[in-house]
């Protein structure tokens, strides 16, 4: 039975190349299919053995020619002709068999590595995803997985067969002829490969420069086109054209230099091959003239040389592509070795489902050590109760939700659920018990049904429809031409703010969590929509342990306790009535929001 290899060891974070380490990490994924690998290598060797045997048979055919002067008849042994045709076919057959057998190895390796990277990225902390560009991550994964196939293709189908063929040819030349033939072949190949590698390394820098200039010109053009209206407002079409042409001139010069370097490479390779072939043919021709070699030997030596140098013509391209593939794979393996900031402990427990008490116990936290966010925050949400946290922007309200979800771990104190420190609980069981309705609801570019069912993917259609009814979505869906199959667009942009919030409520209800978090769930809505949504939020919170994070105080009036945060510290706590009677910070915020609401309702 095949077993997936364990995750690769960490990749050093330096800018150095680690090609051999990258290859070592890749090999276990291929060796998981060792019998296919061995069979493919056997096909490779058989194909090359057949390929180098073809010139030997051709030599026998040439030497066996009997041309009659009286009759223009060429007599060739039929067996040799049959062998020649069979070997030609065998070369192609073994080559294709190798590709057929190895195709599954390559694709399964790509699949397993892609899955490991995908799982690992989902296991990384929120901090990692906030600091990295999603587009850059997907490009790293895309290039890395594509490069695995490219690397295997270049090495197994080009480099390795060429090395096998060189070994066979040199061996045959040493056995059948004087050592000078093998020496000339090896010296020519050494000069050819050394020259190719050195010039290719030089050309790589030129090509990279050309690519960077191409990207700069492209970025300039796209930036101008995106800001089309601004360009028109200021009559700057000619200015933008000149800026674009400046980048194009640089790119053109780099491309010309790049093309010249390619011509130098090709001419140098051709010169080395020409010298080698000339030297070999001179030795062979001398042998024929002196009677030590036959005409067939001359043909054999020439065929061997041509056969060797044809694949070497692409050596520069293969070398460059292999180096680039190794770089891309190394970057992808680097993602897999990224440290998981939030990980389950070895003996992580499971949170039992049911009524849950949440306690923030003298919590201190900072995203950056130089800028603390929370200071000695201590409060309890009794099972089935609703506690609201209010305060100005930047006071640390949303951080409480992230800590409860364990997107981050606290630096001081603890967050407990039913008495358990959540750092000692499995993340899956903890998050399964928590549902959230965020301020900015992000939906998948799929159907309404899919987005609601996402709260519990195994839920039946009846359960999804019941959750939609509870969130007051049923009438809205019924009015849509495509009903449940209506696609919501990228990030749900085809829906209004209120509609998106109802979808968020529905999928949270479908999840049926023991703990609910409303994180500024209505702050982005107008007053009318807010009132409509608030009724669904109150219904969803009934009987559940609920943490409400709010800016608008009108949404938390009925909370069992209201906590006022200021710069990460609790400065007031109590019910709505108690806090107003205290005439402190909460009362001031309430009065200010009343004035703002009256101004909105009566702008005159």
Q: What is the pLDDT of residues 472-527, one digit of tens each?
A: 788 888 888 888 888 877 666 677 777 888 888 888 888 888 888 888 766 656 56
Same domain for 335 and 447, yes or no, is no
How far, in Å, are 151, 498, 529 from residue 495 at the CA level? 45, 8, 14
CATH number at residue 406: 3.40.50.300
**Residue 18 has what pLDDT?**
62
Counting residues of the chain whose pLDDT is more than 90, the rounded percentage is: 1
Q: What is the pLDDT of residues 366-378, one digit of tens each?
A: 887 788 888 888 9
Give me the pLDDT at residue 597, please: 66
pLDDT at 281: 80
One domain, residues 189 and 141: no
Decide if pLDDT at 3 tops 60. Answer: no
Average predicted confidence (pLDDT) for the chain:
77
Q: What is the pTM of this model?
A: 0.58
For residue 525, which of 459, 437, 585, 456 has the smallest C-alpha distance?
Answer: 437
* Residue 211 belongs to some domain of the structure: yes
Is it the case that residue 136 has pLDDT exceeding 70?
no
Residue 566 lies in a domain: yes
What DSSP assignment string belongs to 416-461? EETTEEGGGB-HHHHHHTEEEE-SS----SSBHHHHHHTTSTT--H
**What pLDDT does 109 receive?**
76
Note whether 283 and 332 are same-domain residues: no
Residues recorded for the chain? 604
For residue 231, give its domain range: 178-292
d(CA 254, CA 529): 58
Distance CA 300, CA 281 (A): 10
Q: What would the mean pLDDT of 353-377 be, rounded to a whole number?
A: 86
Q: Which residue did the predictor score with more confidence, 310 or 518?
A: 518
What residues are paired with 519 via a beta bridge? 549
Q: Kindly state whether residues 584 and 554 are assigned to the same domain.
A: yes
Q: Does 298 fall in a domain?
A: no
Q: pLDDT, tens digit, for every residue of 97-107?
A: 777 777 777 77
pLDDT at 71 over 50: no
The CATH number assigned to the domain holding 122 equals 1.20.1560.10
Question: Could you tell me if 132 and 81 lie in one domain?
Answer: yes
pLDDT band with cut points at 50, 70 and 90 for residue 13: very low
In angstroms, the CA 12 to CA 16 distance is: 8
Whether 376 is in a domain gets the answer yes
Q: Which residues pair with 368 in a beta bridge?
A: 371
Same-domain check for residues 86 and 132: yes
User: How, if at all, do strands 569-574 and 561-566 pair?
Assistant: antiparallel
pLDDT at 529 over 80: no
What is the three-class DSSP state of 3? coil
Q: Is 50 exceeded by the pLDDT of residue 10?
A: no
DSSP-assigned beta bridge partners for residue 572: 564
Q: What is the mean pLDDT of residues 544-568?
A: 85
On whether residue 297 sits in a domain, the answer given is no
Predicted pLDDT at 73 = 47
Neighbours of 462 (CB within 10 A): 8
Residue 78, pLDDT above cutoff 50:
yes
Residue 151 and residue 203 in one domain: no
- Is 221 a domain residue? yes
Tell how strand 412-417 and strand 420-421 pair up: antiparallel
Which of the listed ranges 105-114, 154-163, 275-284, 522-531 does the model predict with the highest average pLDDT? 275-284
Name residue 66's beta-bridge partners.
Answer: 75
- Share of residues in the chain with pLDDT > 70 (%): 83
Q: Are 262 and 203 in contact (CB under 8 A)?
A: yes
Give the pair of three-digit tokens for residue 456.
Answer: 């519990």
User: Would you say residue 410 lies in a domain?
Assistant: yes
Note whether 417 and 557 are same-domain residues.
yes
Q: Which of 44-58, 117-131, 143-157, 512-526 has the lowest mean pLDDT?
A: 117-131
Q: 419 and 465: one domain?
A: yes
Q: At 341, is the pLDDT very low, low, confident or very high (cuts 50, 70, 90)?
A: low
User: Which whole number is the average pLDDT over 294-301?
Assistant: 78
| Whether residue 15 has pLDDT greater than 60 | no
| Alpha helix ranges (H) inside 227-375 | 228-233, 237-289, 295-312, 315-336
Q: What is the pLDDT of residue 7?
A: 39
Tell me the mean pLDDT in the region 239-261. 87
308 within a domain of the structure (yes/no): no
Biggest distance spanned by C-alpha atoms of the chain:
129
Q: Is the pLDDT of residue 72 over 60?
A: no
Backbone CA torsion sign across 201, 202, 208, 210: negative
Mean pLDDT of 46-50: 77
Query: Quick one: angle between helices 497-511 and 461-470, nearest 10?
Result: 130
The answer on 114 and 128 residing in a single domain is: yes
pLDDT of residue 128: 67
pLDDT tens-digit profile of 187-205?
888 888 888 888 877 877 7
**Range from 153-167, 272-286, 450-464 carrying the lowest mean pLDDT:** 153-167
> Do 169 and 183 have their domain in common?
no
Long-range residue pairs from 221-228, CB within 8 A, at least 24 positions apart, any chain: none
Q: Rounded mean pLDDT of 427-431?
A: 84
- Going by C-alpha positions, the residue among 341, 383, 376, 343 that lies closest to residue 362 is 376
Token digits of residue 396? 């640390």
CA triple 453-455-459, angle to 5 deg: 50
Res 143: pLDDT: 72
Single out the residue of 64, 303, 27 nearest to residue 165, CA to CA.
303
3 state SS of 514: coil
Q: Is the pLDDT of residue 604 over 60?
A: no
| Domains held by the chain: number | 3
Regarding whether 165 and 195 lie in a shared domain, the answer is no
Segment among 10-14, 49-53, 549-553 with least mean pLDDT: 10-14
Burial of 448 (0-12, 13-18, 19+ CB in 10 A): buried
Residue 360 is predicted with a pLDDT of 92
């Amino acid at each position: 039975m095949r077993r997936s290899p364990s995750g690769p060891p960490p990749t050093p974070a330096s800018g150095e190349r680690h090609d051999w380490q990258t290859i070592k990490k890749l090999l276990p994924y291929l060796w998981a299919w060792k019998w296919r690998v061995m069979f493919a290598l056997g096909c490779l060797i058989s194909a090359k053995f057949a390929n180098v045997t073809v010139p030997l048979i051709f030599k026998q055919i040439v030497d066996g020619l009997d041309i009659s002067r009286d009759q223009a008849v060429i007599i060739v042994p039929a067996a040799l002709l049959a062998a020649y045709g069979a070997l030609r076919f065998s070369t192609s057959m073994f080559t294709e068999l190798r590709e057929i057998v190895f195709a599954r190895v390559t694709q399964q390796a790509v699949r397993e590595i892609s899955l490991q990277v995908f799982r690992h990225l989902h296991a990384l902390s929120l901090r990692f995803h906030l600091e990295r560009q999603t587009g850059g991550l997907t490009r790293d994964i895309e290039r890395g997985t594509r490069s695995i196939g490219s690397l295997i293709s270049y090495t197994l189908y080009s480099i390795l067969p060429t090395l096998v063929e060189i070994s066979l040819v040199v061996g045959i030349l040493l056995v059948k002829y004087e050592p000078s033939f093998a020496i000339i072949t090896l010296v020519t190949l050494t000069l050819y490969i050394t020259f190719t590698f050195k010039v290719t390394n030089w050309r790589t820098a030129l090509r990279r420069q050309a690519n960077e200039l191409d990207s700069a010109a492209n970025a300039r053009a796209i930036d101008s086109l995106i800001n089309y209206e601004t360009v028109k407002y200021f009559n700057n079409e000619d200015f933008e054209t000149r800026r674009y042409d400046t980048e194009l001139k640089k790119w053109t010069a780099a491309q010309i230099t790049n093309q010249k370097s390619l011509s130098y490479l090709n001419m140098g390779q051709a010169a080395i091959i020409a010298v080698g072939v000339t030297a070999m043919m001179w030795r062979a021709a001398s042998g024929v003239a002196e009677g030590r070699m036959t005409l067939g030997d001359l043909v054999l030596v020439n065929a061997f040389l041509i056969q060797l140098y044809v694949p070497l013509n692409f050596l520069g391209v293969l070398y460059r592509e292999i180096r680039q593939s190794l770089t891309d794979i190394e970057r992808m393996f680097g993602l897999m070795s990224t440290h998981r900031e939030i990980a389950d402990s070895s003996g992580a427990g499971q949170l039992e489902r049911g009524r849950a008490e949440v306690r923030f116990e003298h919590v201190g936290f900072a995203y950056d050590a130089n800028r603390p966010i929370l200071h000695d925050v201590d409060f309890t949400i009794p099972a089935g109760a609703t506690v609201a946290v209010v305060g100005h922007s930047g006071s640390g309200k949303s951080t409480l939700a992230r800590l409860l979800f364990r997107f981050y771990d606290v630096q001081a104190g603890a967050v407990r659920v039913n008495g358990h420190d959540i750092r000692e609980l499995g993340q899956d069981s903890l998050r399964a018990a928590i549902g959230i309705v965020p301020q900015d609801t992000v939906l998948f570019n799929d159907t309404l049904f899919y987005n609601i069912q996402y709260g519990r993917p195994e839920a039946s259609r009846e359960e999804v429809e019941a959750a939609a009814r509870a969130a007051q979505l049923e009438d809205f869906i019924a009015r849509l031409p495509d009903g449940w199959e209506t696609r919501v667009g990228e990030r749900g942009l085809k829906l209004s703010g209120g509609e998106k919030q109802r979808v968020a409520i529905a999928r949270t209800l479908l999840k049926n969590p023991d703990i609910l978090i409303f994180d500024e769930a209505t702050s982005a809505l107008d007053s009318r929509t807010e009132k409509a949504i608030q009724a669904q939020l109150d219904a969803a919170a009934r009987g559940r342990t609920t943490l409400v994070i709010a800016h608008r105080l009108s949404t938390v009036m009925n909370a069992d306790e209201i906590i006022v945060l200021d710069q990460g510290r609790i400065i007031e706590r109590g019910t709505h009535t108690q806090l107003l009677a205290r005439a402190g910070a909460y009362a001031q915020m309430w009065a200010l929001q009343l004035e703002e609401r009256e101004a909105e309702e009566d702008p005159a």
